[in-house]
Amino acid sequence: MDRALFYRCERCGNIVALLKSGGGTLNCCGQEMTKLVANSTDAAQEKHVPVVTREGEKLKVTVGSVAHPMTAEHYIEWIALVTENKIEVVHLKPGMEPKAEFTYLDERGEELYTGENDEEVLNCEGQPCNFVLHENPSKFVEVYAYCNLHGLWKTEL
């Protein structure tokens, strides 16, 4: 599913994230902004599609399976985590690694159980566990990366 979240002005280079869709047209510099469609540029997939691994509470993102260049002329400008409940953007600069980290636990409806009130939480096998499930986990978890030359790329979890 494409959520058409990011738009770019082809004149000035502004990029915006749409926080709420009102149905109108986004304009900049006197013209309609371009809706960015992920993974639609003819470029090396292995250098652009975000690779995501989960390590405990963290989602670790690297762009891509072969590291993307991070030179002044060609680099990953930002990496974003998008769920039903939030958008989190990490900005990168040339010379940095094409990587970002996000907190993950709540995205799939999991939350660390802090042990307040001395209650013990049991899982379905009756064993104590240290996390509980929310009733409304995010229906989607997406990771985006934006290359200054090759545009928007995405991985869905």
For residue 121, CA distances in Å to 46, 57, 128, 133 come to: 42, 19, 6, 11
| CA atoms of 17 and 154, how far apart (whole Å) | 15
Minimum CB separation of residue 50 from Fe ion in Å reads: 12
107-123 residues labelled b (16+ CB within 10 A) or e (exposed): beeeeeeeeeeeeeeee
147 is an interface residue for Fe ion by CB under 5 A: yes
Q: Which range in 8-16, 49-57, 109-117, 141-149 contacts Fe ion by CB under 5 A?
A: 141-149
Question: In the complex with Fe ion, which residue's Cβ is closer, 129 or 149?
Answer: 149
150 is an interface residue for Fe ion by CB under 5 A: yes
Question: In the complex with Fe ion, which residue's Cβ is closer, 28 or 145?
Answer: 145
Q: Say if residues 83 and 141 touch (Cβ distance below 8 Å).
A: yes
Question: In the complex with Fe ion, which residue's Cβ is closer, 68 or 142?
Answer: 68
Q: Which range in 59-67, 85-93, 102-110, 139-147 contacts Fe ion by CB under 5 A?
A: 139-147
Minimum CB separation of residue 2 from Fe ion in Å reads: 20
Contacts of 136 (CB under 8 A, 6+ apart): 109
- The separation between CA 60 and the C-alpha centre of its own chain, rounded to angstroms, equals 11
Question: In the complex with Fe ion, which residue's Cβ is closer, 150 or 154?
Answer: 150
Question: Which residues of this chain interact with Fe ion, rule CB under 5 A?
Answer: 147, 149-150
